[in-house]
Structure formats: C-alpha cells, structure tokens
Amino acid sequence: MSATLNLRRQGTGIELRRGPFEIALDGRSVGSIEWHQTVELPLEPGRHTLQIQAGRHTSRAQAFDVSDEESVSFRCHGAMLWPRYVASIVLPSLAISLRRDHHPGR
C-alpha cells in the first residue's frame, strides 16, 4: 500500500523567484513544480522530509509522518516581498516558503 503527497505551488501576490522548483523528498530529487501547478507523489507510509530548492535557494526542511492510504498536503511559493527576497541572498533558506496545508481545499 502507499500514501500520497500533494504539493501545490501557490501564494498570494507576485512571486519574485521564477522558474521551476526542485522537489526533494528524503534528500533525493523526485521532480519539479512550476508556478500554479499541483504535483501528486506516491509515498511509502512512515516518516519523510520534504524540501523545495531552486539552485542554492531552499525552503526549510519539513519533516512529517504519513500512514497507509493517508494523503498529506503542502503549499510552497517563492519570496513575495522584497525584504524577504533580499534577505534570502544571505540566508538562502528564506527564499522559498513551504508549509503544511491542513486545509488543502483553500
């Protein structure tokens, strides 16, 4: 059996970092996601770590547990405010926001 990871790339406003983002699951690249795209990936039940990357810019790694036949949802987007975008030059982990979406329909 398996579980499902749903990843949506969407935020409010204008995303300042363009282009595809790489999806890293448990330290391995498993695909990419474009602006306004949703990606669905099968997972084995258990503990996983998700991180989004664009070159040297990353999100903070998000650890999560998923059980058999469960679906877990996350939302990501690039920096949308100039101060955060500029700060990401020094701290690359501020460049991309990644949050668990407890209300995937919103």
* pLDDT digits 0-9 by tens, 15-50: 767 789 999 999 999 999 999 999 999 999 999 999
Give 5's pLDDT tier (boundaries 50, 70, 90): very high
The verdict on residue 105 lying in a domain is: no
Residue 106 lies in a domain: no
| 47 occurs within a structural domain | yes
Residue 20: CATH number of its domain:
2.60.40.10
Per the domain annotation, does 52 fall within a domain?
yes
Q: pLDDT > 70: what percent of the chain?
A: 86
Q: Is pLDDT of 86 > 80?
A: no
- Binned at pLDDT 50, 70 and 90, residue 11 comes out as confident
- pLDDT score at 106: 46
Per-chain mean pLDDT for the chain: 87
pTM: 0.85
> How many structural domains is the chain composed of?
1
SS (H, E, C) the chain: CCEEEEEEECCCCCCCCCCCEEEEECCEEEEEECCCCEEEEEECCEEEEEEEEECCEECCCEEEEECCCCEEEEEEEECCCHHHHHHHHHCHHHCEEEEECCCCCC
Residue 29 lies in a domain: yes
Q: State the residue range of the domain holding 23.
A: 3-100
